Chains A and B, each alone.
Chain A
Amino acid sequence: MVGTNVKLLTLTGSESLEESLEYCREIVEDAEYPTVRRWRATGGKVLGHFQVYFPEELAHAAGMLPVKLRGAQVECREADSHFGSYLCAIIRSSLEVVLTDRLKLDMFVTHPICDVARNLAGIWARNCPEPAQILYLPQNPNSRHSLDYLTEEYRRVLDDIEEIVGRTVSDDDLRSSIAVFNENRQLLRELYAIKRDTPWLLPVHEAYILVALGGLIQRDEHNEVLRRLIPLIRDRDSRKQDKLRVVFEGGFCEQPPLDLLREIAHFCYVVDDDLLIGLRWILEDVDREGTPLKNLADAYLNKSSYSPVQHDLRKPKEKMLLARIREAEAEAAIVSAAKMCEPGLDEQVPYSEALDEEGIPYFLTEFEERMTSFDHLQIQLETFVENVVFAAPGADGAGLQLVIPEGVS
C-alpha cells in the first residue's frame, strides 16, 4: 500500500500564516494539479469524484488519493465540443482537465446529484481510459431500507476500488481512515466556528482555500496543515469591522471564482455557507465501532448537512437555510446559483419566499466559475449592503436581484 502519509505539499511548517495561505491558494488554483502529480510520481493511484459528496474514506483506506473534481479555471478547448448549450460550466472544465492530461485518474465516480452530473459516467466512458461509474446515493433517505441499500452500494464501490489497487481493504483499514476523516471534520468545524464567531479573522475566500485544499491531498496531511494554521488564525491581528453578517448559499457544486468570494469579503462577513459542502457533509464523528461501511452510510443519511441535490423530507431546504442563518446569527443572505444549474436555480424560488416571509434581506445572484469581471457585482452588492445597513428599522427584507448578464467573462 502506498503510504497515505506521503507529503504532497512543500510547506516546511516554518512559514507565516500569510505565506501558508498564499501557498495553499496557488495549489488550489493550479489547474495542473501539482499535488496529484506528486502523488502519482510515488506510484499512487487516484480516484476522482465529481461533486457533491463521496465517502472518501473508501479510497483513503485502499491507499488511493481521493480528488474532488470541482471544475477549474481553464479554457475548454477540448471539452466544449462534447457538450451542447444550456449546460453548466463545471462539467466542461472537469472533463477538460482530464482530456488534456492535466489530471490523470485511475477511477472516476459521479453521482445522481443532477441530470447533468449523472450523464458524466457515459461521457467519461466514451472518452477517458479510466473506469467511470455512478455511485447511486439514495434519493429516498426517508425509507426504512435506505441504510441497508447504501451500505451495500458502498460495498460495491469498495469492491471496484479493491480491484484497482489489487488488494483487500479490511474493516480496520476503514476504521483508521474514519479516524483521520473524523479529525478532519472536527478541524473544518473549528475553521467554520472561527468564521462564525470571529469572522474578521478568517474571510470567506481564505476559509475556502483551506477547505478546498482537502480535496487535493490526503487528509492526514490536510489535518497537519489545519492543526498548525488554526491557532495562527486565532492569533491573527485583525480588527473587527462594521460589516454585514451574511450566509452564502449556492456553492454546493460549481464553485464561484475565488475573486468573487474576495469581492464579497470586501463588504460582508460570510459567517456560514455551503461552499464545498460535500467535504463538510457529515456533521458529526462517524462511529468507529461496529461495521464501518454501515456507519459511513448512516452518517451520510442521518448525520449530515443539506443541499439542493439531496431529497430528504426531513430537510426542507428553505427551512434548513433559515436555520443556517439563525445559527450563524447572520443578518442577511446571498442566495446564489451557478448559471444553468437546475437544482440551484429551482431552489432560489422557495429560498426567496421563505426569506421574504421571515423579513430577512437577501441578495439574489447567479455566477459562473469562469467569470472574470465583477464590476456589476461589486456595485450591486455594495448597494445591497448599504440598503440593509442604513435602511430604516422595520424595513422588510425584499431581495435585490442581480443576474450576471449574458456574455460576462
Chain B
Amino acid sequence: MTVATPSPIVGRGARDGADLFRDWYGDLTQASARGEKAAYAFVMGSMVELLRSFDMNVVFPEINSLQTAVRRVSDEYLSEAEDHGFSPDVCGYVKADYALQLRGGEHPMGRIPQPSVAVLTNACNTYLKWGEIWERMYDVPMITVDVPGTRGAGMKPSARGFERDRLYVEQQLREAIEVLEEVTGRPFDIDRCRDVMRLTNEMNRDWRRVLELNRNSPAVYDAMMDGTVYLGVANALRGTEQGAAYFKDLVEELEYKVEAGIGVLPAVDNGSKREQRLIFVGVPCYPIFRRFSELFSEWGGVFVSSTYTWFASGGLDVNFDYDLERPIESLAEGLLLGVQRAVDAMLFHDTALLEAIDEFDADGVVYHPIKSCRTVSTGLADSRRQVLDNRDVLCLYIESDMMDKRVVSEAQLKNRIDAFFEGLDSRALRRASAAAGGAS
C-alpha cells in the first residue's frame, strides 16, 4: 500500500464544497434582502437550464430542509408545521419548508426568497403536494412537467414509445417556457440556455467520473458523507461556471488520491486494515449526520457507492450529453432520461444494485428506509430479499428518518450496526480460515 504524500489538493473538494454552499446561501439571502423572488425547483428534474437562461434565482427547498436537520434545528420547524395541522407521518422536508415559509424564509444558512414560480415534475408525488402548498400560500404559477417513467421492471420502451414520451416532455417544456416568459417579463434566450446546457454537460461528464473513481480500492471518498456534499454542489450550482469548475477540480483531486493510494480511512491508508466496502441505499440520517457516518467508519466501513448519488443528482449520472444544436428537444430527452434514471434508482434498483455490488467489490449493503420518504423506502425490504438471494453479501436494514429525530434512536442504530460489522468480520475470518485450510 502506498503511503500518500500530503498534497494541498487532498480535501479540497470538501472545503470548496462548503465554501460554495455558504456563498450560494449568501447570494439567496442578498436576493431576499433586495426583495427579489426565486424559482422553486426540486433536485429530481430541476429544469435549471431553463431557469438559469432567464437568470432566475433558484431555490431548492429539499436542500433547505435537509440543512435544517444537519444544523440540528429541524425539530423546531417540524413542530411549527405540525402545530398547523400536519401529521407527524408526512414528509419532513415539506413540513420544514412550510415552517420556513411561515417564518418569512428564515433559515440557519440565511434567508430564502419567496417563490415567483414553482417548477416540478412527478419524479416524486410529494413534489406535487408541496407545489400545491406554495400555490395556496402565494398564488404563484406552478409548472408541472409530467415525465412518464419506466412502466415496469425490465420494460424497455420501443423507439416509438421513447419518442412519444420525449415529445410529450418537449411539448410541456415549451409550455413551461411560455409561463416563464410571463413570470419574468422577458423572452426566452436560447443561446443563454445553450451556455447553461454546455456547463451541465461538463458537470455530467465529471460527475460520472467521480462515481466511477470509487471503484478503486481504497475508496477515495465516502459516497454517503462526502457524496452528500458533492450532491449539494451538483444540484445548487448545476449549469454554472462555478459548478463546472468545482467538479473539474474534484476529479483532479480524486484521481490524485487514486494514484497515491489515499483512501478515506487512515487505517486503510496505512495498510493496517482492509476497508469494509459498503453500498448505501436510501437517504442519510441527517439529524445525526456525522455520528451516523461514524457508526460505520469506526468499524472500517466506507460507502463506496450510494443510490442517493444516483437518484438525487438530477440525472447527472446518466451517460447523456445535451445536443446544443437542438436544445429544447435535447433538454426534453435529458429530462426524460434523468427523471427515469432517478425513479428507477428508487423503484427498480435491484438489478443496478447487483451490478454495483460486483463493480464496486462491495462487502455489504446498508438499507436505510426513512419515515419521510416513501418513494425511496417502500421497496427496500423487498429489494433486500432479492439481493440476499443473488449475492453473497451481508445486508443491514435500519429505519429512521432524514428529518425527524423523534424516530432516530442512536443507541438502537449502533446496536444493529455493531452486529452487522461483527457479522462482516466473522465472515472474513471464516473465509480466511477456509482459504488457509484449502491452501494447506
A residues touching B (Cβ–Cβ < 8 Å)? 81-87, 91, 112-116, 118-119, 121-123, 125-127, 131-136, 138-140, 142-146, 148-149, 152-153, 156, 308-309, 311, 313, 316-317, 337, 339-340, 342-343, 345-350, 352-353, 366
In angstroms, Cα B371 to Cα A149, docked, is 34
Q: Min CB distance, A186 to chain B, in Å? A: 31
CB proximity of A305 to chain B, nearest CB, Å: 17
B124 and A136 contact, CB distance less than 8 A? no
| Set A127, A143, A340, A366: member contacting B382, Cβ < 8 A | A127
- Asked if A345 and B89 sit within 8 Å, CB to CB, the answer is yes
B375 CB-CB contact with A under 8 Å: yes
Residue B292 is within 8 A (CB to CB) of chain A in the complex: no
Partner of A115, one of B175, B373, B382: B373
Checking A84, A136, A339, A350 against B381 with a beta-carbon cut-off of 8 angstroms, the contacting residue is A84
Q: How far is the CA of A87 from the CA of B369 in the complex (A)?
A: 11
- A142 and B399 form a contact (CB under 8 A): no
Are A136 and B129 neighbours in the complex by a CB distance under 8 Å? no
A346–B90 touching, CB < 8 Å: yes
Quick one: closest A residue to B152, CB to CB? A133
**A148 partner residues in chain B, CB cutoff 8 A:** 168
What residues of A have a CB within 8 angstroms of the CB of B154 in the complex?
A: 125
B202 nearest CB across to chain A (Å): 31
Given A84-B377, A143-B171; A133-B146 close (CB under 8 Å):
no
Known A136-B151, A352-B85; judge A91-B144 contact (CB<8 A): no
By a CB distance below 8 angstroms, the chain B residues around A313 are 135, 142
Q: With A115-B124, A122-B347 as given contacts, are A342 and B129 in contact (CB-CB < 8 Å)? A: yes
Contact of A146 among B146, B370, B373 (CB under 8 A): B146
Does B386 sit at the interface, judged by CB under 8 A? yes
How many pairs of residues, A versus B, come closer than 8 Å at their CB atoms? 172
B347 touches A138 (CB 8 A): no
Contacts of B377 in A (CB 8 A): 84, 86-87
Q: Which of B94, B122, B150, B370 contacts A139 (CB 8 A)?
A: B122
Contact with A along B119-137 (1 / 0, CB 8 A): 0001011101101100110
Which residues in A have their C-beta under 8 angstroms from that of B146? 136, 138-140, 143, 146, 149
Give chain A residues whose Cβ lies under 8 Å from the Cβ of B128: 139, 311
Known A342-B90, A342-B126: A122·B379 in contact at CB below 8 Å: yes
CB–CB A132/B153 < 8 A: yes
Contact of B378 among A91, A153, A311, A353 (CB under 8 A): A91
Which A residues touch B369, using CB under 8 A?
84-86
Which A-chain residue is minimally distant from B142 (CB atoms)? A313
Contacts of A126 in B (CB 8 A): 153, 350, 382-383, 385-386
A134 & B378 in contact (Cβ 8 Å cutoff): no
Q: Which residues of B contact A340 (CB under 8 A)?
A: 89
A112: contacting residue among B125, B346, B379, B386, CB under 8 A: B125
The complex places the Cα of A228 from the Cα of B109 at a distance, in Å, of: 67
Contact among B347, B371, B381, B386 with A121 in the assembled complex (CB-CB below 8 Å): B347
Residues in B neighbouring A346, C-beta threshold 8 A: 86, 90, 94, 126, 129
Query: What residue in chain A is nearest B375 (Cβ atoms)?
Result: A115
B residues 64-93 near A (Cβ < 8 Å) are: 84-87, 89-91
Additional A-B contact list (15), CB under 8 Å, known A122-B382, A343-B125: A84-B369, A84-B378, A84-B381, A115-B378, A118-B125, A118-B149, A119-B375, A121-B152, A122-B153, A122-B383, A125-B152, A134-B152, A140-B172, A316-B132, A340-B89
B414 contacts partner chain A, Cβ-Cβ < 8 Å: no
Q: How far is the CB of A121 from chain B (nearest CB, A)?
A: 5
Task: A91 to B386: give the CA distance in the assembly, Å.
Answer: 19
Residues of A within 8 A of B131 (CB): 311
A-chain residues with CB within 8 Å of residue B152 when the two chains form the complex: 121, 125, 131-134
Is there an interface contact between B382 and A123, defined as CB atoms closer than 8 Å?
yes
Q: Is the CB of A115 within 8 A of B148?
A: no
Taking the nearest CB of chain A, how far is it from the CB of B160, in angstroms? 9
B145 with A140: CB separation less than 8 A: yes
Which residues of B sit under 8 angstroms from A144, Cβ to Cβ? 171, 175
Chain A residues with Cβ below 8 Å from B382 are 82-83, 122-123, 126-127
From B348, which residue of chain A is reached at the shortest CB distance?
A122
Q: Are B168 and A149 within 8 A (Cβ)?
A: yes
Using known A-B contacts A125-B153, A136-B149, A349-B84, determine if residue A115 contacts B136 with beta carbons closer than 8 Å.
no
User: Which residues of B have CB within 8 Å of A125?
Assistant: 152-154, 348
Contact mask for chain B residues 377-407; partner A; CB cutoff 8 A; 1 contact, 0 none: 1111111011000000000010100000000
A63 to chain B, nearest CB (A): 23
23 contacts between A and B (CB under 8 A): A112-B149, A115-B126, A115-B375, A118-B125, A118-B149, A119-B375, A121-B152, A122-B347, A122-B382, A123-B379, A126-B382, A126-B383, A127-B382, A134-B151, A140-B172, A153-B148, A309-B125, A311-B132, A342-B89, A342-B129, A345-B90, A346-B126, A348-B87
Q: What is the CA–CA distance of A84 and B383 in the complex, to the nearest angstrom?
A: 11
B386 — which chain A residues lie within 8 A by C-beta? 126
**Distance of A86 Cα from B403 Cα, bound (Å):** 14
Chain B stretch 257-289: residues in CB contact (< 8 A) with chain A? none
Inside 8 A of B385's CB, which chain A residues have their CB? 81-82, 126
Residue numbers in A under 8 Å from B375 (CB-CB): 115, 118-119
Determine which residue in A112, A125, A345, A346 has the highest number of CB atoms from chain B within 10 A of its CB, and name it.
A346
Question: How far is the CB of A113 from the nearest CB of chain B, in Å?
Answer: 7
With an 8 A cutoff between CB atoms, is B164 at the interface? yes
Residues of A with C-beta under 8 A to B435: none
State how many angstroms separate the Cβ of A24 from the closest Cβ of chain B. 33
| B185, CB-defined interface residue at 8 Å | no
A86 engages B371 (CB within 8 Å):
yes
**Chain B residues, CB < 8 A from A113:** 125
Tell which of A153, A311, A337, A343 has the most Cβ of chain B within 10 Å: A311
